[in-house]
Amino acid sequence: MGKLYDLLLQDIRFEEGLNACMNCGVCTAICPAAEFYKYDPREIVDTIQTKDEEKTEALLKSETIWYCGQCMSCKTRCPRGNTPALVIMALRTLSQKLGYFTDSEKGRQQFAIKRTVGENILKYGYCVPTYAVDPKMHPEQGPIWEHIFNNIDDVMDRLGGNLKKKGSGALREIHQKNLDELDKIFEVTGGYKLYGEIENYSEKKAGEMGLEFKKEGIDNEYFRHVYTCNSDNHGK
């Protein structure tokens, strides 16, 4: 048994996700990501099942493990009670811990996700609040979104939201007590440690790529690179 396989075994999601696969392909058949990406969850599970160290390392450094949308459809279908999505989660975490994620384009995006969504949750108590989805960063949202973003107070008033205010209602301010609780959860469960590892490995990668890196924020070359770079080589 390989060292990497041993590390995966320490992840409870891995233990839960992989019993024994008979390669029926039902997970790939139901998988929305497999319909568009060069992605085959059955193959990933089958590869891991071989416990081959080299192949596992290649997976941890690959684009493949980042295509899963974590919809968990595979869980609902597997006749052997496996959950490929849980195996993928364990692989992703290991890739983050070992720094292998910076070897792939999709993996490097972990840094962008950490600096945006990952920090939003701690700052606001929301992952994707309206005010954090800047149209400049999200042109795909179109002009209506831009209007909403620029007139957020008016729009929220009309829709009956409670933007950044105390009390109940959509997008209300999250009480400091709850934010402190989130902080504690990240501390205890190793979330902060993982964030730190994503930061460190990304900084190292930025150095290797000769790109400017800043300790905070999104105004730096490396962030812009991982956020916008698209080899367009992910689809079928």
Partner 1 sequence: MGKKVVVIGGGITGMEASVQLSALGYSVTVLEKESQLGGHLNDWTVLFPNLRKGNEIVSFLEHGLELQEVNVIYNSKISGIKKINKHYEIVLDNQKQIIADAILVATGFDLFDAHRKEEFGYGIYENVITSYDLEKIFAEKGEIKTPSGINPKRIGFIHCVGSRDEKVNNHYCSNVCCVTGVKQAMELKTLIPDAEIFNFYMDMRMFDTHFEELYLESQKKYGINFIRGRLSEANETIDKRIILKVEDTLTSRPLKMTVDLLVLLVGMEPSKGTKEIAKLLNLKMRESGFLKPEDDHTLSNVSNMPGVFFAGTCSGPMSIKYTFTDARAAVTKINCYLKEYELQHRILLN
Q: Does 30 bind partner 1 (CB under 8 A)?
A: yes
Alpha-carbon span 150 to 54, nearest angstrom = 51
Q: Smallest gap, in angstroms, from Cβ of residue 24 to partner 1?
A: 4
Q: Contact region for partner 1 (CB under 8 A) — 1-9, 73-81, 135-143, 168-176?
A: 73-81
Does position 148 interact with partner 1 (CB under 8 A)? The reply is: no
Does 31 engage in binding with partner 1 (CB under 8 A)? yes
Q: Which of 4, 8, 34, 59 binds partner 1 (CB under 8 A)?
A: 34
Interatomic CA distance for residues 50 and 59, integer angstroms: 13
Rounded to 5°, angle at Cα 17 from 12 and 23 = 155
Number of residues that bind partner 1 (CB under 8 A): 20
Residue 95's contacts (CB-CB under 8 Å, 6 or more residues apart) are 60, 61, 65, 101, 107
What's the closest the beta carbon of residue 28 comes to partner 1, in angstroms?
A: 4
- Cα separation, 236 vs 85, in Å, equals 20
Alpha-carbon distance 60 to 91, whole Å?
A: 6
We find the least distance from the C-beta atom of residue 203 to partner 1, in angstroms, to be: 37
Binding site residues, partner 1, CB under 8 A: 22-31, 34-35, 40, 42-43, 77-81
